[in-house]
Structure 1
Amino acid sequence: MQVADKDAKNNVRLQPTKLLELPSSLRAISLNCWGLKFLSKHRNERLTEIGRQLAQASPEPSIVGLQECWTQQDYLAIRELTKHVLPYGKFYWSGIFGGGLAILSKWPIEESSMYRYPLNGRPAAFFRGDWYVGKGVASARIRIGPARKDVVEVFCTHLHAPYEREPNDSYICHRTAQAWEIAKMMRHAAERGHMVLGLGDFNMIPLSLAHRIIEAHAPVKDIWRLVRPDSAIGAAQNPVEKARGKPIPTAEQCLVEHGTTCDSKFNTWRWSKQMRKALERGKDSEVDPSTPDLRAKRLDYIFFVSQANHAWDVEDVRVGMTMRHPTLRCSLSDHFSIETTLVRQTTLADVDGEVNTLSFLPVDTYDEILAMIAKYDIRERRQRKQRLAHFVAEIGISIGCLIAVWWSPRNFVAFILMLVSTLGLSAGVIDGLMGGLFVGSEIRALKEFEFEIRNTRELAVRAAEGG
């Protein structure tokens, strides 16, 4: 059977499968593939090898969430290589260039959806691209057994990238709102009694604001911290990690103990320009595992909560996809994968059938978020005024140039005036549209987010007062 099914629009294999019993274990993998079209080096070769490694992985993967798998061509190549292990899959469409998200599964996908984040970058930041790819949450409802609640709800996402260090990150409000949205979705899935897996590149460090929001407003837990609660909460050079007073970890410790999936010394795409050029010429470099690693950090996560009618335990969690391409000798992506095996308990003695789906952060944290929203709102309103003022000014300049053409002494002067008029008015119209339409919609999305935070803050105050 070819991977490109009759239902080519969504690439989901829809052949019905009868599930006779619940599996005893489940292997989940999350990987940012770094598959940017035209920009990511050796994209086709690397993503094809990612497919081969998934197909050969031991233990076999059951559910895989991919990020930055931007092209359907790469997705189909991975599907073709993994179809005997992961016969079901979905490539998610979003935005202008696509969300880069895909989910592969051993079991049937009963339902899927793509939810775009209301706050997700700005069209003016075209050089960053977050708004244009339509970032959001790819979700899949996967049946793993015959009972009504034998379902895994998978949420795969890639949150807005940080371009400055928190709390000075100009997009922290966007990423905070995105964490809030995916937490709500995972909480609702848990309330339905289903197992929940949140996979993705969350672009946050452990115990950051976004991380705390997810674990407080959904019953899920960060699997790595479940197994290794004393693991690093940032790169060794990050002030929050320095404050813990821990020794600088080695490159090997970063992978094994701290789950660092990004900026590792073992990743060739984080090597110096000279080392990468030497690798391209066939001269490899060896990385000493005992070398201190100041930059490595964990940005990729698996969040998990068990079923209501069956208990699952975390058997292991590790960083994967650390191998190199067999011929190019480069890393398969600029991220490593995060992988876990979940095992089902054979007894239900410890399962009460209910999940506590909502807890609260300290009230001061909600005040901090509200202050962040207010600061961002002021900034966006100021930018809207500036953009609209630019639009009005360009109309005046354009009219002035057209009038001046009548008294132009030379043809080339008339040409320059017309060029200035055309280009200026075009820029003004674009700025006016951004200010009048996009910024307006962003402010309305901020108002929705603000309402939810204020409402939750009131609930937190009542809970603290015992009301």
Structure 2
Amino acid sequence: MEFTLNIFTLNCWGIPVVSKNRKERITAIVDYLLQSPHNIVCLQEVWSEKDYLYLKDKLKSTLPYSHYFYSGVLGSGLCVFSKWVIQDVFFHQWALNGYIHKIHHGDWFGGKGVGLCRIRYNDKLINVYCTHLHAEYHEDDIYLAHRVLQAYSTAEFVKLTSSCADVCILAGDLNTGPGDLSFRLITQIPSLLDPFDLKSEQINPMIRKPSGTSDNINNSYSDPKMVRSTPEGKRIDHILFRADTPWKASVLNFGNPLEDRVPNQPFSYSDHNAVTLEVRFSRLSGSQMHQRVYSKDDSCYDSVKEAIKVCEEATVTISKSKTLYLTVGGLLFMFLLGTVGFWPPNVLYDVTKLIITALCLYCLVMGILWNKIEMNSLKSGQTALENFSRSRYDLIAE
């Protein structure tokens, strides 16, 4: 007995007003999917509900089952389309999701997390996890602790919800590449396989070998500076999988299924390249059970210890920023209090006083409320990591 899954994932870069050629690209994505053999599709950054409803309506003939994960202010941007019945759905929102005052980044407003669609295919259950981790934004990686804890939370979520599934698929823009701490946590804790490390038959010549999915030289939207330094880009969009004990997986196709440009257009389908995975699952006999393949590095102890260190460093940073916010806010409050009655009745002075008051409130709110929320979320993740590390050590000792 065997069955085949053909999965597709793409970060659609669908930010209304901001994203270039958004409507044309969404239409082109629909045209491709209608002609493709994919039976499970995971999309990220579908920020407009109208875009999702358009996708749902157009794809209903080939992918009749779908779900959008509503979350936060803007929506999570995550949606899943399936050829088969989506039996159960659940969304796990991360406690750490960026900063509310980083409006130009917007991750906090999306209420990001990991969405689960449990799909029933005949008598088999397939857990499909769609997610989108926090980006680096080519800056000092101030979001490292957030992304690491998002990765750990995702890994634990997959591990704790996958016991009844025959196959688990994790697809999305993980904003982390092979070897990175976040990637190691996601693959090691739930023992997910990266098809890049497995032999692929590549029976479909139209699917190109996997390469960088972000800032790739072949993408029309790539940052020229990043392309000059790393022409192939970084492989941060992934499809990872794991099969239950009775099943053996054979990778038939893996890579980028889309052309560099939308047909008859000068632009690409998105600012990310798509990834597809076609994998055949065959039931093993009793004597073959031991042949099951696991993640190439099943020992996650070192990765967890490294994640704990990242959390400890972030705790120190948060404490320093809290002190700074409260000091500045307190000084501004004292200044405003001490200058009551000394401000001349002038529009310029009124505007200046309003700006100083707003800045004072911002600093006090950040120092008293926001930093406390971030610190508690960070401690929650850190203590979970410490428990994971301690429990594994105790189990080994036994």
Tell me the TM-score normalized by structure 2.
0.89
Name 2:193's counterpart in structure 1.
221
AA paired with 1:294? P
Cα offset, 1:38, TM superposition: 1.0
- Contact residue 185 and residue 304 of structure 2 kept, 8 A: no
Name 1:377's counterpart in structure 2.
315
Is 2:28 aligned against 1:76? no
- Contact residue 211 and residue 233 of structure 2 kept, 8 A: no
- Contact residue 182 and residue 214 of structure 1 kept, 8 A: yes
- Contact residue 219 and residue 355 of structure 1 kept, 8 A: no
What secondary structure, in the 3-state scheme, does the structure 1 residue paired with 2:319 have?
helix
Structure 2 vs 1, CA of residues 436 and 194 (structure 1 numbering), >3 Å: closer, same or farther? farther
Q: Supply the distance in 1 between the matched residues of 2:292 and 2:209 (Cα, whole angstroms).
A: 32
Once the two structures are overlaid, the 10-residue window that deviates more, 316-325 or 62-71, is: 316-325
- Contact residue 404 and residue 417 of structure 1 kept, 8 A: no
Cα offset, 1:225, TM superposition: 2.0
What secondary structure, in the 3-state scheme, does the structure 1 residue paired with 2:110 have?
coil
Once the two structures are overlaid, the 10-residue window that deviates more, 118-127 or 30-39, is: 118-127
Q: Supply the distance in 1 between the matched residues of 2:221 and 2:84 (Cα, whole angstroms).
A: 34
Aligned length: 388
Once the two structures are overlaid, the 10-residue window that deviates more, 310-319 or 80-89, is: 310-319
Where structure 1 has 5 or more consecutive residues not aligned to the other structure, the ranges are 1-21, 229-254, 274-290
What secondary structure, in the 3-state scheme, does the structure 2 residue paired with 1:345 have?
strand
Q: Supply the distance in 2 between the matched residues of 1:344 and 1:272 (Cα, whole angstroms).
A: 41
Cα offset, 1:179, TM superposition: 0.8
Name 1:157's counterpart in structure 2.
131
- Contact residue 398 and residue 422 of structure 1 kept, 8 A: no
- Contact residue 212 and residue 234 of structure 2 kept, 8 A: yes
Structure 2 vs 1, CA of residues 175 and 292 (structure 1 numbering), >3 Å: closer, same or farther? closer
Cα offset, 1:270, TM superposition: 2.0
Name 2:203's counterpart in structure 1.
none
Is 2:103 aligned against 1:126? yes
Structure 2 vs 1, CA of residues 400 and 421 (structure 1 numbering), >3 Å: closer, same or farther? farther
- Contact residue 401 and residue 421 of structure 1 kept, 8 A: no
Cα offset, 1:259, TM superposition: 2.8
Name 1:426's counterpart in structure 2.
358
- Contact residue 191 and residue 355 of structure 1 kept, 8 A: no
Is 2:19 aligned against 1:40? yes
What secondary structure, in the 3-state scheme, does the structure 2 residue paired with 1:86 have?
coil
Q: Supply the distance in 2 between the matched residues of 1:197 and 1:362 (Cα, whole angstroms).
A: 23
Is 2:267 aligned against 1:330? yes
RMSD: 2.7
Is 2:282 aligned against 1:345? yes
Name 2:204's counterpart in structure 1.
none
Q: Supply the distance in 2 between the matched residues of 1:144 and 1:393 (Cα, whole angstroms).
A: 63
Q: Supply the distance in 1 between the matched residues of 2:104 and 2:229 (Cα, whole angstroms).
A: 33
- Contact residue 52 and residue 78 of structure 1 kept, 8 A: no
Is 2:108 aligned against 1:169? no
Q: 2:390 aligns with which of 458, 461, 465?
A: 458
What secondary structure, in the 3-state scheme, does the structure 2 residue paired with 1:84 have?
coil
- Contact residue 220 and residue 268 of structure 2 kept, 8 A: yes
What secondary structure, in the 3-state scheme, does the structure 2 residue paired with 1:196 have?
strand
Q: 2:4 aligns with which of 6, 25, 28?
A: 25
Q: Deviations over 1:205-236 (max 9, x none)?
A: 112111111122102111222237xxxxxxxx
AA paired with 2:51? D
Name the larger-Rg structure: 1
Q: 1:442 aligns with which of 374, 377, 386?
A: 374
1:360-399 aligned within 5 A: 360-363=299-302, 365-399=303-337
AA paired with 1:434? M
1:57-72 aligned within 5 A: 57=36, 60-72=37-49
- Contact residue 45 and residue 78 of structure 2 kept, 8 A: yes
Q: 2:116 aligns with which of 118, 139, 153?
A: 139
Cα offset, 1:338, TM superposition: 0.8
Where structure 2 has 5 or more consecutive residues not aligned to the other structure, the ranges are 201-206
Is 2:29 aligned against 1:50? yes
Q: 2:222 aligns with which of 246, 270, 273?
A: 270
Structure 2 vs 1, CA of residues 227 and 432 (structure 1 numbering), >3 Å: closer, same or farther? farther
Cα offset, 1:118, TM superposition: 1.0
Is 2:341 aligned against 1:403? yes
Cα offset, 1:293, TM superposition: 6.1
AA paired with 2:340? L
Q: Deviations over 1:304-363 (max 9, x none)?
A: 011345444322211122242234321010111110112131554434799989953244
Structure 2 vs 1, CA of residues 136 and 104 (structure 1 numbering), >3 Å: closer, same or farther? same
Cα offset, 1:369, TM superposition: 2.3
Structure 2 vs 1, CA of residues 159 and 215 (structure 1 numbering), >3 Å: closer, same or farther? same
Q: 1:194 aligns with which of 145, 163, 166?
A: 166
Q: 2:244 aligns with which of 297, 307, 321?
A: 307
Percent of matched pairs sharing the same residue: 26
Q: Supply the distance in 1 between the matched residues of 2:305 and 2:289 (Cα, whole angstroms).
A: 36
What secondary structure, in the 3-state scheme, does the structure 2 residue paired with 1:315 have?
strand
Is 2:207 aligned against 1:261? no
Is 2:52 aligned against 1:115? no
- Contact residue 201 and residue 300 of structure 1 kept, 8 A: yes
Name 1:92's counterpart in structure 2.
69
